[in-house]
Amino acid sequence: MMDVLSNISLGLGVAATFQNLLYCLIGTFLGTVVGVLPGIGPVTTVAMLMPISFTLEPVSALIMMAGIYYGAQYGGSTTAILINIPGEASSVVTSLDGHQMARQGRAGPALGMAALGSFFAGTVATFVIAFGAPPLAKLALQFGPAEYFSLMLCGLVAAIVLARGSIIKAIAMVVVGLIFGLAGSDVNSGIRRFTFGVQGLADGIEFVALSMAIYGVAEVIVNLEKKDGAAGIAGSIGKVLPSWADIKLCIPSVLRGTALGSVLGVLPGGGALLASFSAYTLEKKVASEPRRFGQGDIRGVAAPESANNAGAQTSFIPMLTLGIPSNPTMALMIGALMVHGITPGPRVMTDRPELFWGVVASMWLGNLMLVVLNLPMVGLWVRLLRMPYRMMFPAIIGFCCIGTYTINSNVTDIAVMAAITLFGYLCLKLDCEPAPLILGYVLGPMMEENLRRALLISRGDPTIFVSAPISLGFLIAAAALLLIVAAPAIRQRREEVMVE
């Protein structure tokens, strides 16, 4: 307990410096602004704004990126409520009741409740991280290469199972991602792999080029062909602060959403998406009049919004303690940390406590800023929402080009971005989700290294993965997950939940 308190105060000391507060504010503000723009989801927002953090100190950079992430998350909910276009799957459920409320002229309370619920959930999630992360990191420090390999395998499987669409395609995309991750100089032999003689590929496929190609350029192309008409924005917003009756009604929902979100966020592949879906479903089950859901019930906004914010935040736990991304955004965070020369893993907490605790503390401050920022600025967001897509996409293309070029001042990276855009578009057309690819890319080199080390220890005996108990446990969990999803009944249920 004392440890946690002293750690939090260390973190507050780092996060509350003028400079870091400023970066946190800029991050949450920019994240919200870009996240509010229709058609730009949180992942795209984080990918696009990443270059801004490159010149900063690692701590400040991560604080700013985290700010961008939850800002974008909140911005996405605003779009979902006001114009019924969820920026990301995780705010789909928010739009169900949120947009109904907006059409009844109660957009204000919906937005206000979303902000208050998110703030409460964020506060709780910060403590979950503060208490939960250190024991997990301590445990992870005892993992050998075999355990790590199996853990990563299990994480990848979980991420696939919880994603949408065909499972075979998702596994194939992970494998493609793993192969992408291996390109460049091999650490052990020094041999250049998959560079096809291109000098600029010696350091591998640049992560920024990959993520911008898929979440920036390819996404724009897909959006351009959709050609949906201008969305109608609800006229009057109403008072932003929810009434006391609304708040009282929502307290249990917010509590349930927060609890559910905090737990689900830690799971690989979980994060915000699963959290918000489950919270909404739970509310519907618990409510005495479930029929009111979908017709503008404020609890249908409060619960998933609290859950997705809690989940978004606790998904930092596996990223910061194990170095394993649970969703594409966390993969982007790992990529950004690597740009700064930090490899996320259990050692970060002991070697760079100021980084770890500074980020944790800044999350709470960032959530506070979100409330302060959002309640009075709803009017501005409404005006941003009227921005037509034709004004936005050239800017996305421009920022992607600049961002990819500046990372190494290397024209090859631009060419790589162009090539992966073609590939990414093809994948999207064939219903192959790109998220597993990004996760695979980040984990590729680590998986190879751990596999190599594990086999070195066992002298080539592959049974090491099943003879070490922890490793066996991860493998069983992975196999069980795959089997469960392959079962037709559950498969159908999963599709229902994702489609709803």
Partner 1 sequence: MFIRAPKDFWSGLMFLAFAAVTIVTASGYSMGRGGRMGPGYFPTLLGIVLAVLGTILVIRSLIIHGDRVERIALKPLVMLVGCVVLFGMMIKPLGLIIALPVTTFLSAFAGDDVRWREAIGLSAGLTLLSLIIFVYVLGLPLPVWPDL
Task: Report the interface residues with partner 1, using CB under 8 A.
Answer: 51-52, 54-55, 166, 168-169, 171-172, 175-176, 178-179, 182, 186, 188-189, 191, 193-194, 196, 217, 220-221, 224-225, 227, 388-391, 393-395, 397-402, 405-406, 409, 411, 414-415, 417-418, 421-422, 425-427, 429-432, 447-448, 451-452, 455-456, 458-462
Closer residue to partner 1 (CB): 283 or 413: 413
Closer residue to partner 1 (CB): 5 or 402: 402
> From the CB of 169, what's the least distance to partner 1, in Å?
6
Q: Chain-centre distance of CA 93, in angstroms?
A: 17
Cβ–Cβ < 8 Å for 337, 345: no
What residues does 184 pair with on adjacent strands? 193
Cβ–Cβ < 8 Å for 285, 240: no
Tokens of 399: 């920022």
Closer residue to partner 1 (CB): 314 or 410: 410
> From the CB of 82, what's the least distance to partner 1, in Å?
22
Q: Within a 13 Å sphere around the CA of 377, how many CA atoms are in the beta-carbon half?
A: 18
> From the CB of 49, what's the least distance to partner 1, in Å?
11
> From the CB of 462, what's the least distance to partner 1, in Å?
7
Closer residue to partner 1 (CB): 190 or 376: 190
> From the CB of 353, what's the least distance to partner 1, in Å?
28
> From the CB of 172, what's the least distance to partner 1, in Å?
4
Cβ–Cβ < 8 Å for 83, 112: no
Closer residue to partner 1 (CB): 245 or 391: 391
Q: Which helix (H) or strand (E) is 192 found in, with range?
A: strand 192-193
Q: Cα(17)–Cα(79) distance, rounded to whole angstroms? A: 32
Closer residue to partner 1 (CB): 5 or 419: 419
> From the CB of 486, what's the least distance to partner 1, in Å?
13
Closer residue to partner 1 (CB): 129 or 447: 447
Cβ–Cβ < 8 Å for 293, 238: no
Cβ–Cβ < 8 Å for 174, 156: yes
Cβ–Cβ < 8 Å for 188, 452: yes
Torsion sign over Cα 125, 158, 76, 336: positive
What residues does 192 pair with on adjacent strands? 185
